[in-house]
Structure 1
Amino acid sequence: MSTALYPLASLEQIEKTPSREDGIPYELEEDLRAHGCKLIHEAGILLKQKQVAVATAQILFQRFWYVTSMKQFGIGDIGMGALYLASKLEECPVRMRDLINVYDLLQQRTAHTRATMIASASAPSSSSHPTKEFRYTPMSYFGSTFYDLREALVIAEMQVLKRLGFNVHVVLPYGTLVNYLRVLGLTDRTDVCTRAWGYLNDALQTPVYALYAVPTIVCAAILLTVRHLGIALPSAPENRWWELFDAEWEDLWSVCGYIMRLYRDRSIEDRTRVMGMLSKKGVRQWLDEHKTVDPQT
């Protein structure tokens, strides 16, 4: 498949990402990627942004971490920059101040949620410690917080362009999904269309759009859908439906694995750890704390 149409990571980048070379474990990097994409999605909803811009931003965000380490740039800043850039690429630009205000809200809410979870985990009886309701404190119009976030936004957008070599072409999967469902005769099933569409959106929280071509990802979403709904499609060796779309079974199964891992249960410790690593400062602090694990160091 042409990498000009589907810009994909190289095998070397996949085997050892810059973040893993800096000491971030694979599962932690995967969780940080997913959380960064969730923030992009939430910001898009609050800004009433088009889904095409949100999806483009999430794909650019995932690509970025195959050329740069999370030790150098925070996932919050890069997510904000990716969404700002994608809004321009999809011709639905947002005001810089609106985007900054929304991300400030999301970061405050994340910090409040993290503090609440830590307090609940440490307190044996939650009834004696009632949970405080989150209240957003707007930043000062002329305060340093806004100007710091604006500078971070400008730098993040510039770094996404620079480190991706201005190769920001993105092919979204939604039109391909509709065509494939039409070929398979499933367009009259609302539950199939809704669930498959949902899997494609969930897959944006994973690196699959930087690893596999869109037809493979769409076929994986259809596979998960028909498996969960109990719909039979031709799968005999001489008549496999996914081969009609030039997809390989091993690739389909791999994409399905990425998507299904999103739904696994995570401990409070894992969730609070991710929430505390939205900035490069948090990542570096975590790395410093875990340098002493190896007695040889």
Structure 2
Amino acid sequence: MSIIFSPLASLRQIRLTPSREDGIPQDLEDDLRTYGAQLIQEAGRLAKLPQVAMATAQILFQRFWYVSSMKQFGIRDIGMGALYLATKLEECPMRLRDLVNVYDLLHQRSNYLLEHSSSSSSTTFPKFTYLPMAYSSSRFYDLKNAMVISEMQVLKRLGFNVQVQLPYGTLVSYCQMLGLVGNQEKGIVENAWGLLNDSLQTSLPALFSPSTLAASTIFLSVHQIGHPLPDRWWELFDVDQKDMVVVCGTILKLYERLDERTGARAWRMSEKTEQSLGVARINLSLSSKDIRATGKPSSPEPLNFYVHAYAYT
């Protein structure tokens, strides 16, 4: 049986991404990663693509920024190229023209919202109307060429290693082994599935294996709903607790960044969950044991991930 290999970022790429090497702050890079992944998700929904195509595109998108800088390539263009490539990989191809139109619609709608939100204090705007491009216009050909070039850049920069192992099957298998599938009234599996989708808006798919992502989202889901599980159940799946802490903290930080924009509180880590993780403040130090499953080289120096104390309060 063939094994699908999921390439992960190296320790050097994690420490200093090409974008941060070019002077882009980490917070800005995280926000741009999230924005590009959300564009891919929205474009895929408008184009009625299957979720596997959108997830594959988001993972390729996140990998790309560990080998390329955001100063050299546009977020929208690389997202278009990744989604166009993913439709071929997942055998759900769509016409290039249709995908260009979808991204143009999203671009026009974004400009419309920015224009009206800055020009008026009222929350009631005129209805947005999409103005399609003429297929003979220079704008259409510019977008089409940008998509084709971006697809080639994704292939080139990733060394044509575009195999993606999606974590959804792993999530379902783990839930079945833990007896969570029968708890449909609690929505544990559905909640974990949603958390897994949201994790694709961060760099996590390029840092951790599908098994770690699946176990971490199950952990967050069962603690949010309050469903008991055996102690240290993640060891059954050979998942390291420190890796799971990093994944959970990154997802919570994503929600916190979104909360700052909306003014709402999407998630709050309970004290019980914090105690289960065994950490309220973490300065994660990688050793050869910690990173054996991820394949990243060992380092005696502490590596500051995205986990901070405020993610657990």
Give the TM-score range, shorter chain. 0.7 to 0.9
Q: How does 1:17-36 map to 2 (within 5 A)?
A: 17-36=17-36
Match of 2:228 among 220, 226, 232: 232
Partner in structure 2 of residue 152 of structure 1:
146
Does the aligned pair in 1 maintain the 2:4–2:164 contact within 8 Å?
no
Secondary structure of the residue that 2:255 maps to in structure 1? coil
Query: Could you tell me which residue of structure 1 aligns to residue 240 of structure 2?
Result: 248
Alpha-carbon distance in 2 for matches of 1:9, 1:108: 34
Query: 1:92-131, aligned counterparts within 5 Å?
Result: 92-120=92-120, 123=121, 126=122, 131=125
* Alpha-carbon contact 2:60-2:82 (below 8 Å) kept: yes
Greater per-residue helix proportion: 1
Native 8 Å contact 2:192 2:221 kept in 1: yes
Match of 1:137 among 119, 131, 145: 131
SS at match of 1:142: coil
AA at the equivalent of 2:255: Y
- Partner residue, 1:206: 202
> Partner residue of 1:277?
none
Structure with more relative contact order (C-alpha pairs < 8 Å, separation 6 or more): 1
C-alpha separation in 2, matches of 1:91 and 1:147: 25
Instruction: Specify the alignment match of 1:175 in structure 2.
Output: 169
Are the aligned partners of 2:171 and 2:214 in contact in 1 as well (CA < 8 Å)? yes
Alignment size in residue pairs = 256
Shift of 1:64: 0.2
Query: Which amino acid is 1:217 matched to?
Result: L
Q: Identity of aligned pairs, percent?
A: 59
User: What TM-score do you get using the length of structure 1 for normalisation?
Assistant: 0.83
Q: What residue in structure 2 maps to residue 76 of structure 1? A: 76
Per the TM alignment, residue 258 of structure 1 is displaced from its structure 2 partner at its CA by 1.3
In the alignment, structure 2 segments of 5+ residues that lack a partner are 263-313
Deviation at 1:267, TM superposition (A): 4.0
- Measured on the aligned residues, the alpha-carbon RMSD in Å equals 1.5
Q: Which residue of structure 2 lines up, in the alignment, with residue 162 of structure 1?
A: 156
- What residue identity is the alignment partner of 1:175? G
2:108–2:130 contact (8 Å) kept in structure 1: yes
Distance 1:11 1:47 in 2: 37
In 1, Cα distance between equivalents of 2:202 and 2:261? 19
The code of the aligned residue for 1:262 comes to: L
Could you say what secondary structure the match of 2:260 adopts? coil
Report the AA paired with residue 126 of structure 2: K
Alpha-carbon distance in 1 for matches of 2:261, 2:162? 35
Poorly superposed stretches of 4+, deviation over 4 Å: none
> Is it true that 1:189 corresponds to 2:178 in the alignment?
no
Post-superposition offset of 1:4: 7.0
Distance 1:44 1:113 in 2: 20
CA distance in 1, matches of 2:94, 2:152: 17
TM-score using structure 2 length = 0.79
Task: Determine helix, strand or coil for the equivalent of 1:244.
Answer: helix
SS in 2 for 1:23: coil
Residue 254 of structure 2 corresponds to residue 262 of structure 1: yes
SS of the residue corresponding to residue 263 of structure 1 reads: helix
What is the distance in 1 between the residues matched to 2:119 and 2:126? Answer: 11
CA contact (8 A) 2:80 2:150 kept: yes
Alpha-carbon distance, 1:23 to partner: 1.5
